[in-house]
Amino acid sequence: MKLVIALLLLVIGTVAFHFLSPWWFTPLASNWGAIDDTIGITFWITGIVFVLVNLFLAYCVYKFRFKKGHKSDYEPENKKLEYWLTGITTLGVVAMLAPGLVVWAQFVDIPEEAKIVEVVGQQWQWGFRFPGADGKLGSADNPFVSTTNPLGINPSDPAGQDDRLVLSSELKLPLGQPTKVLLRSKDVLHNFTVPQFRVKMDLVPGTISKLWFTPTREGRFDILCMELCGIAHYAMRGYVHVVSPQEYNKWLTTLPTFAETQQGGSGDAVAGENSYISCGACHGQQGEGNASMNAPKLAGLSDWYITRQIKNYQNGIRGSHKDDIFGQQMVGMAQILADPVTLRNVAAYISTLEETQTTNTVEGNADKGASLYVTCGACHGRQGEGNFALNAPRLAGQQDWYLKRQLTHFKKGIRGTNAKDQYGKQMILMAKMLTSEQDINDLLTHINTF
């Protein structure tokens, strides 16, 4: 009897849960309403079968429960009934499969007028590329990848010179434009997913995979990686902004072409020395840092990292949080380097500064820290040496009080919350694995051993 009630309640509960659940597909933002319709059909058919089979099951358990002296029916088989059931099941299956295949045919058949965007995945970031005026993407392959050519575009292919690059995880797409997405990976498998668009596809190194959709709703949507790609898989995020075609076209012209990205000269360290004097007031003339001024060590950091941080300060991406007191100071200071050439020179100068010994201020368990660092080391390097390809700055030799403050800020959302701070967002996700202050101390004690 208990079982009968339980089965009935489970059936009723399941149906009720389904209809009352606030957890359901996110509102559609693409042309793939047909997918939602197919799901609807499947839901009705499977739902009816689920309810009927289990209600019948409950009925049997109730009606034919053990009664003393009662004997079961003897019935080896009943061909007619079995044929009927097979036939009805087949009909149900066809009713689900046929619309599914029709919609799949639409997905496979990419419309001629679709505009191309290329998505390039790497551990654990996105990059994008649009064809230039010629409407054609230049060829690209992983062996072409270098620090100055992060997307691996073939430098000798003329079609690639005018391609426009997005070297960040934010993409814009025009409303109502059928879009063909070409997917490519630099390292491992990834998967390009925007839940609101409904369609997804893996990025496979060595091949180019495709999908298409037409954005039908303006707004900002999350891009997620949905194929396990290593330790920071869950932090491989991005945004796609669906905007009006006008806004999109305007944005497109602000993107650098591939040819432009190949021209940028390197900074002049000698010229940078002069401009550094004001920085040195706090950070020390050798960039050795000054704990009493709350100024971290700069010596040992790479020019690309310095450049990115100063730009972040200038653009309000870093230091704009009200609780980030020292960051706010830097916002002001960063305006001194408003001229890109000056910034480049200063960054070059800083990268020439000699390393100095730092004093340790935290104490913790280096062994525990080492096991925590496994995750960090995936990007920042096993010895904390930093890695340009992953946009991960050097940690080795940095003062621990500074790292501690930054980790705390990431955890509290004081740093990295700005919508444009894509690496900061990753660091927020990563820093959350440090659940206590002790964890942070352990980790920093390990970093201090580098």
Partner 1 sequence: MEHVAIADQVEELHNPSSFISKYVWSQDHKVIAIQYGITAILVGLVALVLSGLMRLQLGFPESFDFIDPSSYLQFVTMHGMIMVIYLLTALLLGGFGNYLIPLMIGARDMVFPYLNMLSYWTYLLAVIVLLASFFVPGGPTGAGWTLYPPQAILDGTPGYDMGIVLMLLSLAIFIVAFTMGGLNYVTTILQARTKGMTLMRMPLSIWGIFVATILGLLAFPALLVSAIMMLFDKLLSTSFFMPAIVSMGEQLDYTGGSPILFQHLFWFFGHPEVYIVALPAFGMVSDVLAVHARKNIFGYRMMVWAIVAIGAMSFVVWAHHMYVSGMHPAFGFFFATTTLIIAVPTAIKVYNWVLTLWRGNIHLTTPMLFAIGFIFTFTHGGLTGLFLGNVVIDLPLSDTYFVVAHFHMVMGVSPILVLFAALYHWYPLITGKMFNATLGKLHFWCTFLGTYAIYLPMHYLGFLGVPRRYYAMGTTDFIPESAQTLNASITVAAILVGLAQLIFIANVIWSIFKGEKSGPNPWHATSLEWQAEQIPPAHGNWGEKLPEVHRWAYDFSVPGARDDYIPQNMSNDDVPLEPGQTLQIREEH
Q: Is 206 in the site for partner 1 (CB under 8 A)?
A: yes
- The answer to whether 198 and 293 have CB atoms below 8 angstroms apart is no
Report the residue number, 167 or 224, with the smaller CB distance to partner 1.
Answer: 224
- Of 12, 15, 16, 207, the residue at the interface with partner 1 (CB under 8 A) is 207
Residues 239-278 contacting partner 1, CB under 8 A: none
Residues 36-65 contacting partner 1, CB under 8 A: 38-39, 42, 45-46, 49-50, 53-54, 56-57, 60-61, 64-65
The structure tokens 């890109």 sit at 340
Binding mask 69-98 for partner 1 (x = CB under 8 A): -xxxxxxxxxx-xx--xx--xx--x--xx-
Closest CA to 181 of 111, 125, 104: 111
Per CB under 8 A, the segment of 135-143, 162-170, 258-266, 280-288 that binds partner 1 is 135-143
Residues 107-126 contacting partner 1, CB under 8 A: 107-108, 122-123
DSSP secondary structure string for all residues of 264-331: -PPP-HHHHHHHHHHHHHHH-TTS--BGGGTB---TT--HHHHHHHHHHHHTTSSS-STT-HHHHHHH
Closest CA to 93 of 147, 46, 154, 60: 46
- The answer to whether 217 and 196 have CB atoms below 8 angstroms apart is yes
Q: How far is the CB of 122 from partner 1 (least distance, A)?
A: 7
DSSP secondary structure string for all residues of 341-402: HHHHHHHHHHTTSPP----------HHHHHHHHHHHHHHH-TTS--BGGGTB---TT--HHH
Residues 323-352 contacting partner 1, CB under 8 A: none
- Of 67, 253, 292, 357, the residue at the interface with partner 1 (CB under 8 A) is 67
Report the residue number, 403 or 430, with the smaller CB distance to partner 1.
Answer: 430
Number of residues that bind partner 1 (CB under 8 A): 123
Cα-flanking dihedrals φ and ψ of residue 421, to 5°?
-90, 80
- Helix boundaries (H) for 400-436: 400-412, 422-431
Residues 387-426 contacting partner 1, CB under 8 A: 387-390, 425
* Residues near 243 by beta carbon (within 8 Å), at least 6 away in sequence: 172, 173, 174, 175, 218, 251
Residues 148-167 contacting partner 1, CB under 8 A: 152
Q: Is 24 in the site for partner 1 (CB under 8 A)?
A: yes
Report the residue number, 294 or 302, with the smaller CB distance to partner 1.
Answer: 302
**Cα–Cα distance between 272 and 296 in angstroms, integer?**
19
Q: How far is the CB of 49 from partner 1 (least distance, A)?
A: 6
Q: How far is the CB of 440 from partner 1 (least distance, A)?
A: 10
Report the residue number, 108 or 281, with the smaller CB distance to partner 1.
Answer: 108
